[in-house]
Amino acid sequence: MAIAQRISPFLWFDGQAEEAVAYYVETFDNARILTTTRYNEEGARASGQPEGSVMVVAFELDGQRFSAINGGPHFKFNEAVSFVVNCETQAEVDRYWDRLSAGGDERAQQCGWLKDRFGLSWQIVPRQVGELLSDPDVEKGRRAMAAILRMKKIDIAALERAAG
């Protein structure tokens, strides 16, 4: 059997893997749960998790494979790792921002970054950000960056106005 995807993110949760995966699958189009594995007696004994509880959920978001484990309270997410959602329109930015930021840490919101209710960091980025920041007109890029630094959720129209 061939490897479907050689490298994929493996996310550690403290008992919330199944809930988080259901939330992410509901948030993204073209998303699905692939498999759910439960702790057997040996795994439960080694991990301290209840026998029969969800151990790992394998899932896809827009064709990208992920796994989520209920590993316990030992490790927490931090901003050193985030997932970028590349968006074409303001409607997409609004949709993903509103959905993923709901119940998350509002203090962690800036420049298109947010932290969801499970502590996972996301970047909701319209394609215009890359275009403006890499524009050959250095002043245009500078103005775009200054505008982004004042935003939480990226407002494409405001960004384009600021960049001139």
Tell me what the pLDDT averaged over the chain comes to: 95
Q: How much is the pLDDT for 2? A: 63
Q: Structurally, what CATH architecture does the domain formed by 10-70 represent?
A: 2-Layer Sandwich (3.30)
- Looking at residue 27, its amino acid is T
Band of pLDDT at residue 160, cut at 50, 70 and 90: very high
Q: How much is the pLDDT for 1? A: 60
Residue 40 pLDDT more than 80?
yes
Question: What is the C-alpha separation between 28 and 60, in angstroms, rounded?
Answer: 9
- Name the CATH superfamily housing domain 82-163: 2,3-Dihydroxybiphenyl 1,2-Dioxygenase, domain 1 (3.10.180.10)
What does the CA dihedral 152, 158, 162, 164 come to, rounded to 10 degrees? 150
97: closest CA among 110, 111, 114?
Answer: 114
Q: How much is the pLDDT for 136? A: 96
Question: What is the C-alpha separation between 82 and 18, in angstroms, rounded?
Answer: 20
Q: How much is the pLDDT for 3? A: 64
| Number of other residues whose CB lies within 10 A of the CB of residue 117 | 15
Per-domain boundaries in the chain: 10-70, 82-163
State the pTM of this model. Answer: 0.91
Output the CA–CA distances (angstroms, integers) from residue 65 to 19, 58, 124, in the order listed: 17, 7, 19
Contact between residue 122 and residue 114 where contact means Cβ atoms under 8 Å apart: yes
Question: What is the C-alpha separation between 17 and 56, in angstroms, rounded?
Answer: 7
